[in-house]
């Protein structure tokens, strides 16, 4: 009986290809030199073959148990990518503009005795004609 193929026709990403390559190298090494890790130590064999850390192995086992309880239609959860927040580039401001913005913020604290807000700072910048 032929083994069941998962994800037939799907493209493997670089990390998946790297893990498959690690397994191939491990199996070739064992074919040439004999079994280096006893079969009863399956966790150590998996870690050596895949090259993943012990924490990753434990996390995947935990997710696998959850997946089995939820049913066969669910897939493994992967961490979501974090959005890169846009940063202001100070290179787009002249040193004079940066100094004026600092003065505006300082005046909020010292002269007006208020906490500066984005809206307030923006209004003062527009009033002075800095932008």
Closest CA to 51 of 78, 16, 75: 16
User: Domains of the chain: which residue ranges?
Assistant: 14-70, 90-128
How much of the chain, in percent, has pLDDT values that exceed 70?
85
Strand (E) or helix (H) holding 69: helix 54-70
Closest CA to 88 of 111, 108, 118: 118
Contact predicate 14/22, CB 8 Å: no
pLDDT (average), residues 14-42: 90
75-113 pLDDT, tens digit per residue, is 777 777 777 777 766 667 788 888 998 999 999 889 888
pTM: 0.50
């Amino acid at each position: 009986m032929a083994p069941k193929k998962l994800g037939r026709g799907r493209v493997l990403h670089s990390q998946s290809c790297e893990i498959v390559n690690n397994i191939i190298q491990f199996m070739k090494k064992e074919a040439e030199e004999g079994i280096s890790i006893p079969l009863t130590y399956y966790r150590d064999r998996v870690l050596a073959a895949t090259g993943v850390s012990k924490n990753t192995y434990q996390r995947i086992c935990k997710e696998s148990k959850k997946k089995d309880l939820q049913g066969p239609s669910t897939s493994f959860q992967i961490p979501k990518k974090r959005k890169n927040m846009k940063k202001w580039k100070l290179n787009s401001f002249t040193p004079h503009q940066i100094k004026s913005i600092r003065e505006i913020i300082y005046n909020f604290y010292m002269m007006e005795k208020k906490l500066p807000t984005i809206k307030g700072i923006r209004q003062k910048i527009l009033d002075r004609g800095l932008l």
